[in-house]
A and B are shown apart, each in its own frame.
Chain A
Amino acid sequence: MSKAVVPISGGLDSSVILSIASKQHDDVYALTYDYGQKHKKEILYAGLQIDEYDNIEEHKIIDISFFKDIAPTSSLTNDNIKVAHARDVLGDAQTVNYVPFRNMMMLSIASSYAEAVGADTVYHGSALVDSQAGYWDGSKEFLNEINNVTSLNRKNTIKIEAPLIELSKKQIITLGLDNDVKFKDTWTCYEGDDKACGYCTACSSRIQGFLQNKLIDPIEYQREDIPWGKN
């Protein structure tokens, strides 16, 4: 029996990952992290996504909100730091939206959970755009290195899979459509407002992905200059 652990944030990329994993594995163990993020509402969206699949054995919500205390340098975990807009930071080596070593911490927890439940695969939601936005822990190099570390395990080999790591947002949305992902049940924005801002790096890549697919994103945005239906 094939088992996998899937960290799901509630965002678009991990919703597509979940659709892939639920097809490829008999049992899926889902994890969602509360790391003290401003956009905590994404956790609710993770719950909505879980309901779509019948082979999810368990959905754990893990509290690692101590990140707020140990990593107050990030706009995502510090209310006093403004979330950076994509147009202001593209090309920056490490934007203010970066949460120090967050992905390594999350993947370590997911690997620990995988070993405990007997899963041999842990999914990682990084996509091509993460490297482009400056996240070193969303890069292919990071994926290779973390797999080198998990391969040192002497008894249980756990592979970290990142099926979206070379895909553009346009390609990810296409893949999600093929897998019947309900994009209205996803939350991507780094702000935790009622409507997505449309300006942060997460929103701007999501919007571009829909525009490039000539689709209208089913979620609402505060931003009013998005040319839906005009491209």
Chain B
Amino acid sequence: MCGIFGSNNIETFRELCKVNSSRGNFVRSVTYLFPEGLESKTLVKTTHETDFDKPITENPFCIYYLGHVQSPTSKVREFAKKTSHPFSSNGKYLAHNGVLQNDRELIMNRKLKNYNDVDSSIILPLIENIGFKEAIEELEGTFGCWYYDSKKGSLRIFRSGSTLYYKGEYCDGSFSSAALPGYKYIDEGVILEYNFTSRSFIEVDKFKLNMTPFFL
């Protein structure tokens, strides 16, 4: 019950944030990706904001902006970083839109650690446990995700059930849970990876869809 989006262009990113804000108006996160070699050695920085009227700051060194807007799915209305997207572990970052239905089963069956009450929190531990593609093939429910591995410099997006759109032939370099005019669906079961040189998304793999609760 959220929205995910990303762009290499701050103006597009701000526009995508606006169009996604109706999907989640509780907390917004902006994750900035930086190239290697910066003096600070910072590769990834995330900021959270509950006041959606505050403008999103441009960072001149940022090579890609990743966003997530969250709606509360419980009566808890206080922001807690631990339960907010993106989740992170060992240089890997993941934001999710949708509802998983087998998260508790996976915790038991795969003996997962470092998760919390939020269903999305199990995805990174699952990836670390059994690998990226194997993990997303085990997820049941609905999901649209962005996933960034800062050690590999790999940014991936994929979906099953949840909406996720792109502009053009992936070449715009933007994606979003809510569509701007001219945006099209990313096919379910396709893994797209962002090429930081050509500044566009490229299909790198496919995964097996598993128990989407809706016939789309």
Q: In the complex the two chains form, is B215's CB within 8 Å of A132's CB?
A: no
Give the distance to chain B from A204, nearest Cβ to Cβ, in Å. Answer: 4
- Contact A92–B23 (Cβ < 8 Å): yes
- Residue B163, interface by CB 8 Å: yes
Write the chain B residue with the least CB distance to A136: B73
Assess the A87–B101 pair: CB atoms within 8 A: no
| Given A91-B98, A92-B23; 14 other pairs, CB 8 A cutoff | A87-B163, A90-B98, A90-B142, A91-B3, A92-B1, A92-B163, A93-B24, A133-B214, A134-B1, A169-B213, A204-B214, A204-B215, A211-B215, A212-B211
Question: Is B150 an interface position by the 8 A CB rule?
Answer: no
A168-B163 contact in complex given A91-B144, A132-B141, C-beta closer than 8 Å: no
Determine the distance from Cα of A86 to Cα of B142 in the docked complex, in whole angstroms. 12
A–B Cβ pairs within 8 angstroms, 29 of them: A86-B214, A90-B162, A90-B163, A91-B2, A91-B3, A91-B23, A91-B98, A91-B144, A91-B161, A91-B163, A91-B177, A92-B163, A93-B2, A93-B23, A93-B24, A93-B25, A93-B71, A128-B101, A132-B141, A132-B142, A132-B213, A141-B73, A141-B75, A145-B75, A168-B213, A169-B213, A205-B215, A208-B212, A226-B215
With A129-B213, A132-B99, A168-B101 as contacts: A88 and B163 at CB distance below 8 Å? yes
Instruction: Please tell me if the beta carbons of A131 and B99 are within 8 angstroms of each other in the complex.
Output: yes
Query: Interface residues of B toward A: which range?
Result: 20 to 34
What's the least CB distance linking B208 to chain A, in Å? 14
B216 contacts A by Cβ under 8 Å = yes
Majority-rule SS of B interface residues: loop
Contacts of B1 in A (CB 8 A): 91-93, 134
Q: Is the CB of B163 within 8 A of A89?
A: yes
CA distance A132 to B160 in the complex (A): 13
